[in-house]
Chains A and B, each alone.
Chain A
Amino acid sequence: MAEATAPKPSSSVKLVLLGEAAVGKSSLVLRFVNNDFQENKEPTIGAAFLTQKCNLPTRTIKFEIWDTAGQERFASLAPMYYRNAQSALVVYDLTKPTSLVKAKHWVAELQRQASPGIVIALVGNKLDLTNESSGSGDALGEDSETDAAEGENDDGDARKVSTAEAKTYAEEEGLLFFETSAKNGTNVTEVFTAIANAIPETSLKGARGPGATQSSANRTEDQSRVNLTGPRDSASKEGCAC
């Protein structure tokens, strides 16, 4: 729940993870929240709700994370989770092209249905399965370093979605873009920090520092959609008072 007791200016940000089943949404969250990783994690049922603080120079962002199940049958419940979200992490598996297709669907749905100001990050997970040695402890990437876009050509490289392809798409749609490995932690914190930085300052409670990148008009529209109790609600109200 919204907290007003933290010493630093602190605000809650609701974040929702979406993406095909088994792309690693829960693992990303687990890495971010507990700095832990489990092999063969069992599928999420329904949705899990976790919180984690993210310290920025000027303020503390408290992420309230909805980690949703990726299975098709849960799709109809997704609006419940992204409805008031200020940010979304759309995850695909960079060894599985269909998961990027699914990710694009989610992006489209978010842009259509979610709060207009929502910050969306597109994340290609399972970087550890590719040959790139960008991550620490990359198990497969010792022999060669290849161009990400052509990684597919290499032996032992499971990459099926090129960085360029996903990046181009992300730029077109105005999304943040990262390739991560929940297994060895590559880029995971960076994703969340980038989201925290991209959240419109004005929509945050106690927002003081510079860095607001979005117009307050967006925020207001966003407000109009808020209709549930919850941290977002209270945070937004206080934001109005500023």
Chain B
Amino acid sequence: MQCVASLRTVGLLLRFAKPSSNPPVDDIIQKGRISSTSEFFSFPCWDFMGHSSDQRESPSHDRLHAPIDTAPTATAAEEDGITTTMTQDGENEAPKHRMHAGSDESTATITPRKVDGKNHEGPEQRPPLPPRPSLLGDRPSTPLSPSKRPALQSKPTTAVSSVDIQTLSFPDGSRGTFAAPGSRSVSEGRGISGGTSTPSSRKVSQNGTEFDDSTSLMSYAPTLRANGDLASLLDEGLNSQSPAWKLLSSQADNVNPFETIYDEDNALFNFDHEFDEVEAVDSKGGNEEQVLLQWKAKLKHYLILSSAGKPIYSRHGDQNLINGYIGIIQTIISFFQDGKDPLMGFTAGDTRFVVAIEGPLYFVAISKLGESDSQLRAQLEALYMQILSTLTLPTLTQLFTNRPNTDLRRPLEGTETLLSSLADTFTKGSPSALLSALECLKIRKSQRYTINNTLLKARTEKLLYGLVVAGGRLVSVIRPKRHSLHPSDLSLIFNMLFEAGSVKAGGGENWIPVCLPGFNKTGYLYMYVSFINAHDGEESSSNERPSTAGSSPDDEIAILLISADKESFYELKQMRDDVVAQLENNGSMDIIRGAVRQGRPSTVDIVPGTQLRHFLYKSRANVQFMMPSFSPDFSSLLARRKLMSLYHNLHASTHAKHSHVKVLHCVGRDSISLAWTTPLFEFYCVAGPNASRAGLAQGANRVIQWVKREEERVFIIGGAVF
């Protein structure tokens, strides 16, 4: 209760959508945790600080007031939160039995930032102050069925959440311990917390400086600094925020996000090599050690195996290298499968393992990048969809029904590149994948209307969907009234066409059987694809097919015509010829080329003079998103990954189950950011570390106004139906 009170005093208010005096247990868990995360998300604080009065009229402002009324909810949550911290590993599961391995280390790395280690005393001795930090730290890891894990009682059960703990639960109630070397840090582990938890809990530090609250900020400083190795992509060192430092750096307003490289950034040290090929072990095995090091240095791994333990796909490493690991992971997963409590994920050191089981297939994501469980799970789901897209569900099922030890690599032959490009898209960080939304090419409404009509007019009988896509962005869609397109299906198609080079580099026109699982996972559709070069204005149907390396995917305009009839190639080809001729005639093709060449606008183009450096805007109703260009600030792979990690954190925090967080303000050493969700949109933005909160909020509002004004240009609203 004290915590809550203090929470309010510092203006850390969470707005819960469903205020209720008796929230269900899950809610409580969640809220308890969320309030802990709110420590570093100084949420609507600028309203309460009084130093951003210019924001009073802003839309966000209204929203920001709401939490005051709902603060009691937070109270309720806090009271009960104590009992239930352990249940948030899987998204749907509340695993009852957990093994805590290395929990000492994990808590040690976390707690200091929160309560200077006081929280080791357990709930009874909880110190009343400092308030916010204690919220995080004091919940003991009481399981739902405490009686089953007596041994734990003797341990310091200061785990903040399962996130911070290396857990493995065994179905029979026993616990296995895998020792985590003391030197290892769980910092990333926390980052990669359960789907319900906030991955960015390491940002705790900033609230003190950012809020003008009365809590003695500097008293935390030493412990915060203790976590040198915690820092990673977005970590903040307190030193950069010390009053003196702040004064100093306030001289330089225009520091861009992630501009300074911190020593602690070594989590991403090797990111430039992330996509390098792992060498093959030579015949004598002489370089095995070195190869293994290369393999282990990868920040992200994806493994797909059959339940019988046959390897199906691995992003890195050849078969000889991974076979042993495949065996281990299969054993672990199968062990839990035998019980009724399937393994969802676990943490080892700074690495998060997430497991997804789809029928006879096991999918494993291994990440050091700090994504949340639910985000990793969504990535695994996409890989599964890719496999379905190749085989269809009945075929897959049949293969394994007939022969449980089927080697799926054979039927999937040739699609490794699709899986890999999908995986690499995730590793690089894809706004589209993060938001599960599509991006559209920005053109005028009337222009889009013309293109739609051109497609509709040329439509042939066999056509199911017709799309014009430019550089992975939708230009136009026509579809039957009764069928909509699933973003997940489209992202599979876009991956095939624009990320993997197979189709583009092949040249000519393509006729591709593809199963779109969102549409119908039991059968194939047939997709006619023809690329048109955006630059020279010539169809590249037969000649002048540039190599994959030669042209960036953003330059390509593709016409996709999808039919359920595999014999309809020539019919669709005719339609394509008509469409292209017509688009050339009415000038639409030039408009598309112009828009493609222009690329995405930069943030400054959209909102002149803003402190924002990048943003994502997702229109929920349209399942589409809009973003400015990654350049100039995020053009490098590494900067982009850092930005995307920040977005991932914001996204995970606002989408944590039951969190109902509406506005989230996050201050980091190298950036400040804001997440804002309403029923209409989700919005995420980033500014440099020295940007003002007011500037951030103002920028956000202006972007939203801009999007509202341009809505029919940046999004396809409705689309053309027939």
A contacts, CB < 8 Å to B: 1, 21, 26, 29-30, 33-34, 36, 38, 41-52, 65, 67, 69, 71-74, 77, 80, 228-230
Known: A33-B507, A45-B503, A80-B566. A50 touches B414 (CB 8 A): no
Closest to A30 in B: B507
**Apart from A45-B418, A48-B511, A49-B508, 14 more pairs, CB < 8 Å:** A29-B507, A30-B507, A30-B545, A33-B507, A41-B505, A45-B415, A45-B506, A45-B510, A48-B509, A49-B509, A49-B573, A50-B508, A51-B542, A77-B513
Judging by beta carbons under 8 Å apart, are A228 and B567 in contact? yes
| Chain A positions within 8 Å of B508 at CB level | 33, 48-51, 65, 67
Judging by beta carbons under 8 Å apart, are B414 and A34 in contact? no
Nearest-neighbour CB distance to chain A for B135, whole angstroms, equals 51
Return the CB mask of B548-580 against A: 1 if under 8 Å, else 0.
100000000000000000110111011001000
| Chain A positions within 8 Å of B410 at CB level | 72
Judging by beta carbons under 8 Å apart, are A49 and B569 in contact? yes
What is the bound-complex CA distance between A123 and B555, given in angstroms?
36
Judging by beta carbons under 8 Å apart, are B511 and A47 in contact? yes
- The 4 A-B residue pairs whose C-beta atoms are closest, nearest first, are A46-B512, A50-B508, A43-B414, A42-B502
| Chain B positions within 8 Å of A49 at CB level | 508-511, 569, 573
Return the CB mask of B563-602 against A: 1 if under 8 Å, else 0.
0001101110110010000000000000000000000000
B605 at the interface (CB under 8 A from A): no
Judging by beta carbons under 8 Å apart, are A43 and B417 in contact? yes
Judging by beta carbons under 8 Å apart, are A26 and B570 in contact? no
Between-chain CB contacts (< 8 Å), 9 pairs: A36-B545, A42-B505, A44-B506, A45-B506, A46-B527, A48-B509, A49-B510, A73-B391, A80-B567
Closest to B420 in A: A42
Residues of B492-542 contacting chain A, CB below 8 A: 496, 500-503, 505-514, 527, 541-542
Closest to A52 in B: B542
A46 touches which one: B513, B542, B573 (CB < 8 A)? B513
Nearest-neighbour CB distance to chain B for A161, whole angstroms, equals 22
| Chain B positions within 8 Å of A69 at CB level | 414
B414 touches which one: A1, A21, A29 (CB < 8 A)? A21
Nearest-neighbour CB distance to chain A for B376, whole angstroms, equals 26
| Chain B positions within 8 Å of A72 at CB level | 410-411, 413
B547 at the interface (CB under 8 A from A): yes
| Chain A positions within 8 Å of B653 at CB level | none
B54 at the interface (CB under 8 A from A): no
B510 touches which one: A41, A47, A77 (CB < 8 A)? A47
| Chain B positions within 8 Å of A42 at CB level | 417, 500-502, 505, 548
Interface on chain B toward A: helix, strand, loop, or mixed SS?
mixed
B contacts, CB < 8 Å to A: 390-391, 410-411, 413-415, 417-418, 496, 500-503, 505-514, 527, 541-545, 547-548, 566-567, 569-571, 573-574, 577
What is the bound-complex CA distance between A36 and B506, given in angstroms?
11
What is the bound-complex CA distance between A33 and B527, given in angstroms?
23
| Chain A positions within 8 Å of B571 at CB level | 229
Judging by beta carbons under 8 Å apart, are B570 and A230 in contact? yes
What is the bound-complex CA distance between A129 and B508, given in angstroms?
28
| Chain B positions within 8 Å of A47 at CB level | 510-512
What is the bound-complex CA distance between A90 and B471, given in angstroms?
35
| Chain B positions within 8 Å of A29 at CB level | 507
| Chain A positions within 8 Å of B418 at CB level | 45
| Chain B positions within 8 Å of A52 at CB level | 542
What is the bound-complex CA distance between A112 and B411, given in angstroms?
26
Nearest-neighbour CB distance to chain A for B598, whole angstroms, equals 29
Judging by beta carbons under 8 Å apart, are B411 and A1 in contact? no
Closest to B570 in A: A230
Judging by beta carbons under 8 Å apart, are B511 and A46 in contact? yes
Judging by beta carbons under 8 Å apart, are A229 and B570 in contact? yes
Known: A44-B506, A45-B510. A38 touches B567 (CB 8 A): no
Nearest-neighbour CB distance to chain B for A184, whole angstroms, equals 17
Among B503, B510, B527, B571, the most chain A Cβ lie within 10 Å of the Cβ of B510
Closest to A37 in B: B547
B411 touches which one: A38, A43, A45, A73 (CB < 8 A)? A73
Judging by beta carbons under 8 Å apart, are B414 and A48 in contact? no
Judging by beta carbons under 8 Å apart, are B414 and A33 in contact? no
What is the bound-complex CA distance between A188 and B622, given in angstroms?
50
Nearest-neighbour CB distance to chain B for A129, whole angstroms, equals 19
A45 touches which one: B502, B543, B566, B577 (CB < 8 A)? B502
Judging by beta carbons under 8 Å apart, are A48 and B417 in contact? no
What is the bound-complex CA distance between A29 and B411, given in angstroms?
25
Nearest-neighbour CB distance to chain B for A30, whole angstroms, equals 6
| Chain A positions within 8 Å of B514 at CB level | 46
Closest to A43 in B: B414
Judging by beta carbons under 8 Å apart, are A71 and B511 in contact? no
Closest to A26 in B: B506
| Chain A positions within 8 Å of B505 at CB level | 38, 41-42
Judging by beta carbons under 8 Å apart, are A38 and B547 in contact? yes
| Chain A positions within 8 Å of B513 at CB level | 46, 74, 77
Closest to B549 in A: A38
Judging by beta carbons under 8 Å apart, are A36 and B503 in contact? no
Judging by beta carbons under 8 Å apart, are A48 and B542 in contact? no
Nearest-neighbour CB distance to chain A for B513, whole angstroms, equals 5
| Chain B positions within 8 Å of A46 at CB level | 510-514, 527
| Chain B positions within 8 Å of A65 at CB level | 508
Judging by beta carbons under 8 Å apart, are A77 and B566 in contact? yes
Closest to A41 in B: B505
What is the bound-complex CA distance between A71 and B391, given in angstroms?
12
